[in-house]
Amino acid sequence: MNNVNQVAVWMDHASAHLIENPLNEIENVVVYSKLTHQERENAVERGEKKLHNTEQHEELAFYKKIGDLIRDYKEVLLFGPTEAKTELLNLLRTDHTFSDIKFTIENTDKMTGNQEQAFVREYFKKTLNKK
């Protein structure tokens, strides 16, 4: 992902789909949270405190990985069905590296890959027309 100013991130707590924009060259990259169902069960067996610590550690690593991938963009659309997008934005706002990036959050339902790409095309087409 290079020489592109806009990216959209569909995300929930399990995965994030990064979709670059210019409209004619959409590229999709998927990032997965490392906290699997099996790891969650193992942590539960060791106690709720261990599960909570594991979840927090893995969630932070997941968000930092996404942050590393979007740090060079000028405009980022965060969208999806859960609060993960807001949690990510709150984390990124504490890092001055992201202060020049314009972030927008949109609530959406779960989407197929084609629906995600169509949503991104329409969103950036609308923002282009507003300028």
pLDDT at site 29: 75
The boundaries of the domain holding residue 88 are 6-130
Residue 105 lies in a domain: yes
Nearest alpha carbon to residue 22 among 2, 6, 42: 6
Residue 1 lies in a domain: no
Residue 98 lies in a domain: yes
pTM of the model as a whole: 0.80
Residues 38-68 have pLDDT tens digits of 555 655 566 666 655 667 878 899 999 999 9
- Regions of the chain short of the pLDDT cut 70: 1-3, 22-28, 34-54, 129-131
Residue 58 lies in a domain: yes
Other beta carbons within 10 Å of 90: 11
Q: Tell me phi and psi for residue 57, to 5 degrees.
A: -65, -45
Nearest alpha carbon to residue 26 among 36, 37, 17: 17
| Pair of tokens at residue 5 | 């100013």
Query: How many domains are contained in the chain?
Result: 1
Check which CATH number belongs to the domain holding 48 and give it.
Answer: 3.30.420.60
pLDDT at site 1: 41
